[in-house]
Every structure is written in structure tokens, then in C-alpha cells.
């Protein structure tokens, strides 16, 4: 556990604690449940998934208005998820197995039940009044035209009866935005960083890193804002309520703080659709990496993926690595967006691009979304939060009633069945991760895409030691590709029936919806 840049070659696994494993039968996943399944994630043998770092979505005390992203105490664990002692066990157990742990850092807002906000809202003269963003209304309405990121919430402002002013909330009204310009707030937030680093965590996933500051004059956004289905899709360029220069300053400060504690990781969530703005957030002295959010917005189209990967690769600082995720707790699952076989091709893409792969729990099984009959989430994200399917009946997740229904695919998309099936999605993930770990070209090599026929995406990964080619067929029909001259060896295919062996680069046959990894020479 020593290498300074461990994160550069890490495969990250996102755990949504509520949905991973329930240890006490209340139907809600918890920290002990995670501890009990650490061997599944990495036990040092090819039988486990072999991931290097766990990102845990929030497990802090929360009224759950946004399922944990509304925090009422930054330095504790919600009793539904366990205790600080469980965090210690989790971190220790992960470290013993060579895995790092990164936790979610939500600095933009707290819960409206956080004691800071209760004080702040109590009177205009309360010493914590300025810890949040308060403003007078305009013409009987909110102070300006900013909207909440959740379509259903409407304006980003709510009037508080006690004092007659409005407070800002970029998300639900239960998530008031902190005023990070206030030095006392900054000091309080710094304490939070220190607290979790002292618990032994190895870094942070930074929630909405681009939203931490808003225009000090609260100016109206230039264009009237249409309603958007998902906040990630906002064409939110140069708006006054996000992407302000002070965010970079705070993130640099955090980076410095983290570096002072050892080799940690800052993984940014920066849902800005303009790549030229996104790349400002990672590399150099900012966050180490950030999600390439355009990646999860692409249709199933080879040219679209090639375009978005090439664009970000060209814009990013030479040394900077983006993070590629196919799904998260905010994004519908890969199988639901694209289909089962497509998801295998997408997995090969994610693990072979230049960047950090981030696997959302259950993606390795090809689990599909399973929306409940009655929506619980304010932004319709229940479907992708389906409990982890450990075996066909659901008892592997809980002995009680799960907080969300399992998928109809539980008979096949489960760990028990897939562990035993050589051609399963789980075993494909294991092979891809193992291959990646052994390959300097995949971990550290450069990337370049090649021109290729429609509905194929072909790229080269090269290190001083090796040269690999990845050829992905997005089409539902076979194709034969001419990729170059000379011999190569087929190392891996998304089609488990296809065996490794020599191929000629002049004619590489690809099955319908098949991806292959070739070693040149």
C-alpha cells in the first residue's frame, strides 16, 4: 500500500451502501454488510473481482430527502448504516486486502436539519445566518431566476416564513446551499476533511464540484432555463449559479490538505457538458481525476463514443486521467440503456480506455434497472439503485423486505449463478480487470483511435513494453476489419466462446456486438 500514484492504475468500485448488503434484516444495506463482502471485491485471487478502491456513497446521518446527499451530521454514521466502529472495520478490512476507500464529500449543501441550518434560519441576526445563502425576494417572488437541478423542485429558492427571506438550494428545498465564501464555513468544512482522513480513508469523491460557488451578486442566468430531465444534461455553460473560479481555489486547497496526509485521491463529479470547462477541474494541482460525464450520455453509437473520448483526450492536460463510469446511482444502468450484449462491449471499452474505470455495484452482473411501483426518489433514480443480487432469491441481500424491489433478472443477474458460469458477465469483468492490472499499456500507455468502418470503434494503447489494439463492434452483424499489417494475438473477447490465439491484423473477424483485445506482434 505504498505507491504514491496508486490511483493512476486503480479500478474503482462504487458502493451505494443502502443497496449493497443488509446485515441485520431491516431491508437496508449497511456498513457491516459491506465488510462481509469484501472478499467478493478483492481477496487477492482471480476468483474475486479484483478492484483497487471503493467509493462509498454517503452513509452519514441524514433525513434521506436525497438518500444521504442531505447530511445532518458530517462526522458520524447514520444508525441505519452502522457506527464509526463499522467504518473502522471497513477501512481496515479493505486495506488488508489492498483496497483503498474513498468517501463522498458533499460540501455544496447540508440537510435542512443540520444544526448549522437550524441556527441559520432562526433569525436574521443569528451568527450562523451567513453560513447559508439568504436573500430578499424580488417582486414578490424568488431573488432571481435560478432553478433547482431537480426538475420537480422548480426554483432554487424557498421562502422561509420565520424571517421572510429566501434561501438557496441547488437541489431539493431540504438541501440548503452552504456559503463557502464565509471563512467560518470553510474552517468547519476543513474539519470534516481532517475527520475522515483520521478515520483512515484514502480520499474523497467530490459531490457537484462545479457548484460550490455561485455569483456573489446573484445575477439572473442569461437564458431563461428550460426544464431538463436530468441535471447532468443541463447545458449549463457559463451560468451564474455554477462553475465560478472560486471552486478551483477551494479544490486546490483541499488537494494541498490531502497531499499533506499522504497519497490520496480526489475524484470529482463535475456535470458540465462543456469539455473545455470540465478539463479545468482535474490534473495539475486540482482534483486528480473527474468523471467524463459525456461518456454516460452517449447513444449506442460507435462514432459518438469515439468522438467524446477523442475530444476529452485532446483537451485534457497531458498527464490528466478522466474517470469512466458506465452507470452510477444517478444514471440508468448499462443494460437498461443499451442491452445485455452491448453492456459487455461497453465494459471492454471502459476497462481499456485511458482513464480510471469506475464500476457501479451490480454492473459486473449486468443487472438491469428495477423501478418500484411508487417512486421514492425526487428525481426518478430508484431504478438504478436496485439492491445487489447476490443469489436468485434475494436472501443474499437481506433476510427481510428489501427497501427497493429486486430486478426481474435476479434469476440470472446474480453472483451465485454467474460465479459458476465461465461466460457470465461477472467472469468477463474479472478477466478484464485482471488483464488490465497486468498490462502496462492499459494502465499507463497512450491512447489513439483509428479510422474504422461505421459502427466500429478501434483504438491503440501503447507503452514502451507493449502495444494493444481494441476493436469494438457496435453493430448487430458481424464484420471483418483490416486494422494494419502483421501478426497479432487475440487476448480477450467479450464472446467467451472465442478462444485466444493468433490473428492477422489484415483481417480481424468480429462477431455481432463483439469486442476484442489484440496484442500486436
Q: Mapped to the 3 state alphabet, what secondary structure does 85-134 carry?
A: HHHHHHHHHHHHCCCEEEEEECCCECCCCCHHHHHHHHCCCCCCHHHECE
Collapsed DSSP state (helix, strand, coil) of residue 316 = coil
Choose from ligand NOJ, Ca ion, none: what does 30 bind? Cβ within 5-8 Å by kind: Ca ion
Burial annotation 471-507 (CB, 10 A radius, 16+ → b, else e): bbbbbeeebebebbeeebebbbbbbbeeeeeebebee
CB of 23 to ligand NOJ, least distance (A): 24
32 in Cβ contact with 17 (< 8 Å): no
- If one asks whether residue 382 binds ligand NOJ (CB under 6 A), the answer comes out as no
Reading the block at residue 307, the C-alpha cell is: 468522438
26 binds Ca ion (CB under 5 A): yes
Of 303, 293, 276, give the one whose Cα is nearest residue 327.
Answer: 293
Please identify which residue in 91, 208, 345, 481 interacts with ligand NOJ, judged by CB under 6 A: 208
- Set of cell numbers at residue 28: 437496508
Say whether 207 is catalytic: yes
Which residues, 318 to 337, sit near ligand NOJ by CB under 6 A? Answer: 329-330
Asked whether position 55 contacts ligand NOJ by CB under 6 A, the answer is no
Q: Does 171 bind ligand NOJ (CB under 6 A)?
A: yes
275 binds ligand NOJ (CB under 6 A): no
- Confirm or reject binding of residue 83 to Ca ion (CB under 5 A): no
3-state DSSP assignment of residue 254: helix
Q: Return d(Cα 520, Cα 515) in angstroms, integer.
A: 16
> Out of 30, 177, 207, 369, which residue is the one contacting ligand NOJ (CB under 6 A)?
207
The DSSP element (H or E) to which 176 belongs, if any, is none
Among 31, 87, 105, 106, binds ligand NOJ (CB under 6 A): 106
Q: Does 9 bind Ca ion (CB under 5 A)?
A: no
Catalytic residue among 70, 78, 202, 269: 269
Neighbour count for residue 5 (Cβ, 10 Å): 11
106 binds, among ligand NOJ, Ca ion, none (CB under 5 to 8 A by kind): ligand NOJ
Of 26 and 73, the one with the shorter C-beta distance to Ca ion is: 26
Q: How far is the CB of 406 from ligand NOJ (least distance, A)?
A: 21
Confirm whether 269 is a catalytic residue: yes
Q: Specify the DSSP element, H or E, that contains 186.
A: helix 183-198
Nearest to 300 by CA among 476, 463, 55: 476
Q: Which residue has the cell 464500476?
A: 359
Question: Which part of the chain contacts Ca ion (CB under 5 A), choosing from 26-34, 90-98, 248-256, 372-380?
Answer: 26-34
Question: What is the binding site for Ca ion (CB under 5 A)?
Answer: 22, 24, 26, 28, 30
Binding site for ligand NOJ (CB under 6 A): 66, 69, 106, 171, 207-208, 269, 329-330
Active site residues: 207, 269
Amino acid at each position: 500500500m505504498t505507491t504514491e500514484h496508486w490511483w493512476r492504475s486503480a479500478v474503482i468500485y462504487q458502493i451505494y451502501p443502502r443497496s449493497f448488503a443488509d446485515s441485520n434484516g431491516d431491508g437496508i444495506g449497511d456498513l457491516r454488510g459491506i465488510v462481509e463482502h469484501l472478499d467478493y471485491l478483492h481477496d487477492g485471487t482471480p476468483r474475486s473481482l479484483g478492484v483497487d478502491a471503493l467509493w462509498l456513497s454517503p452513509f452519514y446521518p441524514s433525513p434521506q430527502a436525497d438518500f444521504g446527499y442531505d447530511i445532518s451530521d458530517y462526522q458520524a454514521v447514520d444508525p441505519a448504516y452502522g457506527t464509526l466502529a463499522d467504518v473502522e472495520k471497513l477501512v481496515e478490512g479493505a486495506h488488508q486486502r489492498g483496497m483503498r476507500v474513498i468517501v463522498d464529500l458533499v460540501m455544496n449543501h447540508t440537510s435542512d436539519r443540520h444544526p448549522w441550518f437550524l441556527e441559520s434560519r432562526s433569525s436574521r441576526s443569528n451568527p450562523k445566518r451567513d453560513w447559508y445563502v439568504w436573500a430578499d425576494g424580488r417582486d414578490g417572488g424568488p431573488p432571481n431566476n435560478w432553478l433547482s437541478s431537480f426538475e420537480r423542485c422548480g426554483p432554487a429558492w424557498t421562502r422561509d416564513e420565520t424571517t421572510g427571506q429566501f434561501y438557496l438550494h441547488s437541489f431539493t428545498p431540504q438541501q440548503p446551499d452552504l456559503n463557502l465564501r464565509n471563512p467560518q464555513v470553510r474552517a468547519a468544512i476543513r474539519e470534516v476533511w481532517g475527520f475522515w482522513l483520521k478515520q483512515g480513508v484514502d480520499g474523497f469523491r467530490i459531490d457537484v464540484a462545479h457548484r460550490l460557488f455561485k455569483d456573489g451578486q446573484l445575477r439572473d442566468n442569461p437564458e431563461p432555463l428550460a426544464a431538463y430531465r436530468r441535471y447532468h444534461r443541463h447545458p449549463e455553460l457559463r451560468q451564474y449559479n455554477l462553475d465560478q473560479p472560486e471552486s478551483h481555489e477551494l479544490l486546490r486547497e483541499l488537494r494541498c490538505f490531502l497531499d499533506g496526509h499522504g497519497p490520496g485521491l480526489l475524484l470529482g463529479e463535475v456535470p458540465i457538458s462543456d469539455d473545455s470547462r470540465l478539463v479545468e477541474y482535474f490534473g495539475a494541482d486540482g482534483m486528480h481525476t473527474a468523471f467524463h460525464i459525456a461518456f454516460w450520455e452517449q447513444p449506442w453509437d460507435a462514432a459518438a463514443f469515439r468522438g467524446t473520448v477523442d475530444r476529452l483526450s485532446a483537451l485534457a492536460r497531458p498527464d490528466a486521467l478522466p474517470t469512466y463510469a458506465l452507470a452510477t446511482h444517478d444514471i440508468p444502468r448499462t443494460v437498461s440503456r443499451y442491452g445485455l450484449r452491448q453492456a459487455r462491449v461497453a465494459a471492454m471499452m471502459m476497462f481499456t480506455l485511458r482513464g480510471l474505470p469506475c464500476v457501479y455495484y451490480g454492473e459486473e452482473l449486468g443487472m438491469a434497472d428495477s423501478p418500484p411501483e411508487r417512486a421514492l426518489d425526487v428525481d426518478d433514480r430508484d431504478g438504478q439503485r436496485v439492491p445487489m443480487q447476490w443469489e436468485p432469491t434475494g436472501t443474499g441481500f437481506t433476510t427481510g423486505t428489501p427497501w427497493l424491489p429486486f430486478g426481474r433478472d435476479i434469476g440470472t443477474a446474480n453472483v451465485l449463478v454467474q460465479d459458476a458460469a465461465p461466460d457470465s458477465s461477472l467472469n468477463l469483468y474479472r478477466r478484464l480487470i485482471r488483464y488490465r492490472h497486468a498490462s502496462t499499456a492499459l494502465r499507463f500507455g497512450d491512447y489513439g483511435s483509428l479510422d474504422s468502418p461505421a459502427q466500429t470503434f478501434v483504438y491503440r494503447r501503447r507503452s514502451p513494453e507493449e502495444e494493444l489494439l481494441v476493436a469494438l463492434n457496435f453493430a448487430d452483424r458481424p464484420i471483418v476489419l483490416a486494422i494494419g499489417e502483421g501478426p497479432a494475438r487475440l487476448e480477450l473477447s467479450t464472446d467467451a466462446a472465442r478462444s485466444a490465439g493468433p490473428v492477422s491484423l489484415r483481417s480481424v473477424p468480429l462477431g455481432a456486438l463483439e469486442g476484442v483485445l489484440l496484442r500486436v506482434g
